[in-house]
Structure 1
Amino acid sequence: MSILHQTKFFVSAAKLNQLPDASVPEVCFVGRSNVGKSSAINILANQKKLAFSSKTPGRTRLINMFGIPNPDSPEHAMGFLVDLPGYGYASVAQNTREEWADVLGAYLRDRRSLAGIVLLIDIRRGVTELDRRLAEWIAPSGIPTLVLLTKADKLPYGQRMRAVFAVTKDLQKIGALKVIPFSATNRIGIDETAEQIINWIQPKAE
């Protein structure tokens, strides 16, 4: 069984100072509102309701952390999956959007235990201006980034591969970048994604 299947809810936080000490690897999920972050976390953890998936875009305003238990010490986490607030939903008040951006940016910039970033992009929309700005924020950090092209089941295989090429080219300024088609509905890209995340949480010995 994958270690991700043992993931449990740990804490919700509105501010960075409410998060636990940055002592174990964290993998964060980030993307536009309603792009499928919660669905991705749920399918990777093999649980239906681990992460809250709102039908109203922009509803998730908290940093939600999910702990992966340490088999040698189950009461402690060996790592965390972190669901960050979505961005880019127009009906949310401007001051609230800016507040989220500050929290999101500060987490990506300052969280020293951040081992990897999972950026989710709707395969049918491609890279938006907000995605591009986020990529520019990530690039100087050198943090490895996995781009999941969600809703990949909506396109035939050939179009998926063209989308992978286009997004890879569009986000090439992120040095350590990998792009894969992903679908929680049709289980596309699940194993490859899980393998990458586990390697960030438990790096293989060189």
Structure 2
Amino acid sequence: MKIVDAEFVKSAVEPETWPPAERPEIAFVGRSNVGKSSMLNRLSGRKALARVSNTPGRTRLLNFFDLTIERGASREILRICDLPGYGFAKVSKTERANWSQMIGAYLEEREALKAVVVIIDVRIGPTDDDLEMLRWLDAEGRRSIVVATKLDKLPKAKRAGRLRQIEVQLQMTARSLLGFSSEEGLGRDELLGRILEAAHAD
């Protein structure tokens, strides 16, 4: 299983500007500066598919990408939606409210949406915003895939224990939280597998 092509589709705000819901879609969300763009670039194998910035809140639109995935003799196209980061983004309250409305509309209305990847910084653990997002997704009946990123920032001997701490905090079963490192590539194949599983779920 490998990604053979990745391309930007479009940026959008209002539902009428979203691309057609023609294929399974997976959304990525997390607090500002959690490493979402770096994760998407590592996942796709493209260094500049998603813009990476040290400034929180640079993603201000719904950004759609298509990944062409090869499995054996077959190929399929999966659509990714990169959502604006939440939390401490240095923007006005008005703009933050607009983001919230835009994200809420997408998560509620998008028929093609199969799962939401919720990204957590493994060093910080789930923030109040992360917990609120997970509760909201659960209430809406949306499938979530929780990923703890920046695993490379921890010593290898402490990684498994830290992941388990977060699982306990989130009341997740053992080994259900996925650890990920954009720098080392850890967790990439497993994340891709979980995304594809969700894409084909009823």
Q: Same fold (TM over 0.5)?
A: yes
> Could you say which residue in structure 2 is the equivalent of 1:33?
32
Aligned 8 A contact 1:118 1:148 in 2: yes
User: How many percent identity over aligned positions?
Assistant: 38
TM-score (norm 2): 0.87
> Could you say which residue in structure 1 is the equivalent of 2:153?
154
> Could you say which residue in structure 1 is the equivalent of 2:132?
133
Question: What root-mean-square deviation, in Å, do the aligned CA atoms of Structure 1 and Structure 2 show?
Answer: 2.4
Which stretches in structure 1 are left out of the alignment for 5+ residues? Answer: 72-76
* 1:103 correspondence with 2:102: yes
Aligned 8 A contact 2:66 2:79 in 1: yes
Q: Distance in 1 between matches of 2:79 and 2:185?
A: 22
> Could you say which residue in structure 1 is the equivalent of 2:84?
85
* Secondary structure in 2 matching 1:34: coil
Q: Distance in 2 between matches of 1:105 and 1:162?
A: 34
Aligned 8 A contact 1:32 1:86 in 2: yes
Structure 1 stretches of 4+ with a deviation exceeding 4 A read none
Q: Distance in 1 between matches of 2:125 and 2:116?
A: 18
Q: Distance in 2 between matches of 1:172 and 1:114?
A: 24
Residues 78, 187 of structure 1: alpha-carbon distance in 2 compared, 3 angstrom cutoff: closer
Q: Distance in 2 between matches of 1:83 and 1:90?
A: 16
> Could you say which residue in structure 2 is the equivalent of 1:74?
none
Q: Distance in 2 between matches of 1:104 and 1:167?
A: 25
> Could you say which residue in structure 2 is the equivalent of 1:191?
189
1:42 deviates by 0.7
Which stretches in structure 2 are left out of the alignment for 5+ residues? Answer: 71-75
> Could you say which residue in structure 1 is the equivalent of 2:54?
55
How many corresponding residue pairs?
Answer: 196
Residues 34, 70 of structure 1: alpha-carbon distance in 2 compared, 3 angstrom cutoff: closer
Aligned 8 A contact 1:29 1:120 in 2: yes
* Secondary structure in 1 matching 2:177: strand
